[in-house]
Structure 1
Amino acid sequence: MSVSQAKLDAIDLQLLERLQTDASLSNQALAELVHVSPPTCLRRVKRLLDAGLIEREIAVLSVDTMARVVGHGLCAVVEITLDRQDQDALEAFELKVAQEDAVQQCYRVSPGPDFCLVVHAHDMPDYLALTQRLFTFDANVRNVKTFFSIKRSKFGARVPLPAAP
């Protein structure tokens, strides 16, 4: 039975919680933490992956440590307002920004601007080139408002989960 056909049980919720905290855990270690056998653990994690509940497993780099190694770079939150907000225009903009490595996150928002982006660029000339590619040459972009980050106080990707039943 797939996860979409049944509710998540306490073991599923524990697995998701543990994997959100540390996806590098071995199957053996994960199984011990949630008190199931390694084969059961592996089968359940595969089911959660197949159901799309786990989108991907990545390494989160330390911005401060990386800055000492490769330079500080720029982090910006960018608000975008389009002239036209029909479905085709919104999807075209999303497709365009999805192809840019510098755009780490893209949110369609309401009310206010149409999109909020989180962007990382090497320096100001790199940011300028990005803005020209994404915004200046796009006739549908009406307004761009950029906020440059001076310090990252919190960063996370953890999704709050309900308490195990």
Structure 2
Amino acid sequence: MHSTPISLPELDDLDRRILEQLQEDSSLTNQDLAQRVHASPPTCLRRVRRLVDEGVIDRQVAILSAEKLGSTLTAIVEITLDVQAAERLDEFERSMLTERAVLQCYRVSPGPDFVVIAQVKDMPAYHALVHRAFTAQANVRNVRTFFSVHRAKFETRIDVRA
């Protein structure tokens, strides 16, 4: 069985500088961005539009402070399913997509079937999440949770250097 290689877009130095700046602050005006990357505003705007069109820039968001919003409990949850058939894995994954407390969901191997990162207000909110999203599902065999006591690093940036 042969897999088709993913076609990666060609990125030059200017594209990389633009991406670095936008990862730092996506609210920059085109004028400010152009100045920071040493390009003309029309060139910069054209490049950003191309990066969006090619899917390199997936979306632009605001990163909120969980602490300031009262959502201070981070749970790293390992989930093992009873049945690992493709349709059962897909079913569990779909259920995680609709769960607002779940920030990230990964299928992993080896070990558990999924690792989920969840952000909740407190332990009662965590217990409600576990009941609603995990233990109420008949196919969930095991749930193992780690709670963050300190976050040393949190980044959303991707290294775009060549």
What TM-score do the two structures reach when normalised by structure 1? 0.87
Q: Secondary structure at the match of 1:110?
A: coil
Distance 1:127 1:46, change over 3 A: same
Per-residue deviation at 1:77?
Answer: 0.4
5+ residue gaps, structure 2, are 1-6
* Residues 1:51 and 2:50 aligned together: no
Counterpart position of 2:88: 89
Deviation string for 1:69-88 (max 9, x for gaps)?
x4453111000111122221
Which contiguous aligned blocks of 4+ residues in structure 1 show a shift greater than 6 angstroms?
none
Provide TM-score, normalisation by structure 2: 0.89
1:156 paired residue number: 155
Cα RMSD of the aligned pairs, angstroms, is 1.6
Aligned residues, how many?
156
Give, in angstroms, the shift of residue 39 of structure 1. 1.3
Give the share of equivalent positions with the same residue, in percent. 55
- Bigger relative contact order, structure 1 or 2 (CA pairs below 8 A, ≥6 apart): 1
Q: Does 1:20 align with 2:62?
A: no
Q: 1:146 to 1:6 in 2, by over 3 A?
A: closer
Query: Going by fraction, where is helix more abundant, 1 or 2?
Result: 1
Distance 1:108 1:19 in 2: 29
Give ranges in structure 1 of 5+ residues lacking alignment.
none
Superposed CA offset, 1:6-42 (max 9, x none): 5111111111111111111110011111121111111
2:58 match: secondary structure: coil
